């Protein structure tokens, strides 16, 4: 029986789209729903195009066990994937789904993690510090930002002339290459 994946996203949904497409052909798992805290998020358009139900909620709904807790219970996820989800995940859900919630971070943790370290903020910091490498970290979610156990990391060499936008493009390529297969390995 195929495993069930639930994705949380807040933005454009390129990682969500990649995961959905990967598992549509693998047969091992299926994305049963994509949840977002932004009603204007592009991820909803991507879900619609791929025939995956989207669900919009607000911060109050997320933090209310009787609301989000019940909603997720009905979806019976084997894995919850945060793919560009910008709100702090509530402790009560982490307790209900121990080692079943993962996140992708656009840097090599523990560097460039924590509150406020997302998207271009990360890439600008990497460039400002003249780093030779950056990368991605896929990790379990715990009660602290970007602090859960590391599942997988991949790195890419940076050049002195790379802008934050160049770094973002290199990280995007790593995410597209490694996120779905890492999810698949967790579901085996």
pTM: 0.97
Average pLDDT of the chain?
97
105 part of the active site: yes
Q: Domain 3-106+138-153+175-187 is of which CATH architecture?
A: 3-Layer(aba) Sandwich (3.40)
Q: What is the pLDDT of residues 125-141, one digit of tens each?
A: 999 999 999 999 999 99
CA–CA distance, 126 with 115 (Å, rounded to integer): 16
- Rounded to the nearest 5 degrees, what angle is found at the Cα of 16, between the Cα atoms of 12 and 17? 85
Active-site position among 71, 105, 123, 139: 105
Band the pLDDT of 162: cuts 50, 70, 90: very high
pLDDT for the residue 27: 84
Q: How many CB atoms are closer than 10 A to CB 70? A: 10
Band the pLDDT of 1: cuts 50, 70, 90: confident
């Amino acid at each position: 029986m195929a495993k069930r994946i639930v994705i949380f996203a807040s933005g454009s949904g390129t990682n969500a789209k990649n995961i959905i497409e990967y598992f549509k052909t693998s047969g091992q798992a299926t994305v049963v729903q994509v949840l977002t805290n932004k009603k204007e998020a592009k991820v909803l358009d991507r879900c619609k195009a791929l025939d995956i139900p989207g669900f919009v909620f607000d911060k109050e709904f997320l933090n209310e066990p009787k609301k989000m807790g019940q909603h997720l219970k009905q979806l019976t996820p084997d894995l919850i994937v945060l793919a560009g989800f910008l709100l702090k995940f509530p402790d009560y859900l982490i307790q209900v789904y121990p080692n079943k919630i993962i996140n992708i971070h656009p840097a090599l943790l523990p560097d460039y993690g924590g509150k406020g370290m997302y998207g271009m903020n990360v890439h600008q910091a990497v460039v400002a510090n003249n780093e030779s490498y950056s990368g991605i970290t896929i990790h379990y979610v715990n009660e602290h930002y970007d602090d859960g156990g590391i599942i997988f990391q991949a790195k890419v060499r940076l050049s002195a002339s790379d802008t934050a936008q160049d770094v973002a493009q290199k990280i995007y390529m790593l995410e597209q290459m490694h996120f779905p297969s890492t999810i698949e390995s967790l579901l085996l």
